[in-house]
Structure 1
């Protein structure tokens, strides 16, 4: 079997673009992948065009060797743009190999270790009674792991950290009191705080209020997270921005965090994700995959989640708290994973188990989209 074409589709899906990639072969078997570098899809398309030049004519079944060649074939190896492109191709290669062998992708990863994949759902409502009401609704629907967002996150222009943390801490405490101790409760600060701000936030709440704190600060400097680790006992959930196993290395080896928010569409696909999962298992770090994209990412992450022992929850963007569909309306993906209550069943079809209406994809158009460029009240730029 030989690769005959690689086709990127940067496609507008109503709220932003999504980059899906088709890999075709001379035997009529094709695979689908997805890139996770939202907002910079054109850069990933450029990387895919470079990879295409030497991948045409190669055997897509040689997944590990192709991964190494893609990574090592340039002097300036690595980086989020290149690994986002590699991720999409790696998923497509797994899809092809599963279809060629007639097995689900999890069989290529050692076989499944669970039959269904529990998820965590997100409350999008602002801090206040509405947030508590949405969380209670999710619990009634079967979710026992729920993620909150902080005060001020809904403003597309201004985010003032110190104004956020006091109000957020107050309502996190109220939410815990309202929901009880059984539910797993976390919050995503989207790396918008400094070490001092994050420490102040954690110290405003009784121990046990939160079960995980996601991305409180930026992750370029592990030492900053180590400093914060010394000031709070809340488990950290980080890693969705990491683009290789090497970025995970200091966090795993230094016991900085407890949950890996690994994104298979950015880190290098299933090939790299399985290495990070094994490394994490050796250090008793659980994986809590980042899954904000479309059905291809969801399906691939389901196979990954089924095959690793140290799995906790999968992020879902299809709960009533978010109603984020992207490609999920069925017009582009006639076959895709579907939530059953608060869980996904592990796909059983050969390959990833996703079907794409390529003609519907071709009818879509790319639109430039930017994430909010947030500023503080004094006019300075801050993190989105």
Structure 2
């Protein structure tokens, strides 16, 4: 079996028109990849939507040149050719493309032996996979409404920002007061039998400010605080973790086992949340999880992407001992039509995937209406004095 060609589809509008709970997220495009072989078996994957999307598409075509004529089942070998062939370690767009292609290879391998991918990764470790979704709302009341909708969907956990979206324009003491009010009202309404994860989205530059946030929300028992400071300074993250009482989660902006390994060595993390669409794909995330397990750390994958990425993560979660919880979005009606057998939670959990490979497929006839050259760019933010703000 040989690879014949690889296609990349940038879809606009599949995610609907609703922004994420971070206003900077905007309405992203969806980037899907499909690898074809000479015996009619193909595989699908999803790339992280970095913004701008066009760079990822060009990386896919670059990697395609290396892979045509190769056996798709040699996953470790082909990963090395893509990664090492770039000479300079690829950045976010390159790793997004590499991750998506790697996913397609696992789908092909599973189909070629008529097996679900999780069976090829050590088999079923648990009976079901717990999921959580994002919940937005600038006011505590709006946040409570979003949480109520999540509960009505059967979810037992959500993730939100501890701060309102306009925190950059507030005096810091006022921002902290807003965080206190949000958590207080939410806990008074829903109690402590519902988990709330918090995400400052790496938008706070000063560790001292993030520590004040942690001290403010600590009494309300968050599940974790994600990316409390910028991810570039691993030592600062490690120093902050020593002072936190709430578990510190990070990893969504790290690539490969080498970067995540540095976080482990520095003891800079409690809960890893790498993104399988960015970190290097399934096998790389399994290696990271094994390293984390050996250091008594757990994994809660970052996954604000579409149904293809969610299903890939579900296979990872079912086969990984130190998995905790999976981020996901409830699929839109458009996504349900694009992805055949779209995964959804029932009573807050995903069930065991069925079928060979990922157990899902793309409805190409429906998908083609959403292919676009209108590439997505992230929204920029500025402080009151005109300083470019962290997103």
> Please, what TM-score do these two structures have when normalized by structure 1?
0.92
SS in 2 for 1:120: strand
1:336 pairs, out of 339, 342, 354, with 342
- The whole-number CA distance in structure 2 between the counterparts of 1:166 and 1:292 is 28
2:69 pairs, out of 54, 57, 62, with 57
1:352 pairs, out of 351, 358, 381, with 358
Report what 2:194 is aligned to. Answer: 183
Report what 2:112 is aligned to. Answer: 100
- The whole-number CA distance in structure 2 between the counterparts of 1:79 and 1:259 is 23
Structure 2 gap ranges (5+): 17-26
Matched, 1:87 2:99: yes
Matched, 1:167 2:178: yes
1:135 pairs, out of 147, 152, 155, with 147
The structural deviation recorded for 1:187 is: 0.9
Matched, 1:11 2:14: no
Report what 2:373 is aligned to. Answer: 366
Report what 1:321 is aligned to. Answer: none
Matched, 1:35 2:35: no
The alignment's C-alpha RMSD in Å is 2.0
Report what 1:288 is aligned to. Answer: 300
- The whole-number CA distance in structure 2 between the counterparts of 1:16 and 1:219 is 22
Q: Is the 8 A contact 1:166 1:201 kept in 2?
A: no
The structural deviation recorded for 1:25 is: 0.3
- Farther off after superposition, 198-207 or 273-282: 198-207
Name whichever structure is richer in helix by fraction.
Answer: 2
- The whole-number CA distance in structure 2 between the counterparts of 1:10 and 1:237 is 30
Q: Deviations over 1:246-278 (max 9, x none)?
A: 111122223221111111110010010000010
- The whole-number CA distance in structure 2 between the counterparts of 1:213 and 1:373 is 23
SS in 2 for 1:27: coil
> Please, what TM-score do these two structures have when normalized by structure 2?
0.90
Equivalences, count:
376
Q: Is the 8 A contact 1:103 1:349 kept in 2?
A: yes
Change over 3 Å in CA distance of 1:28–1:160 after alignment to 2: farther
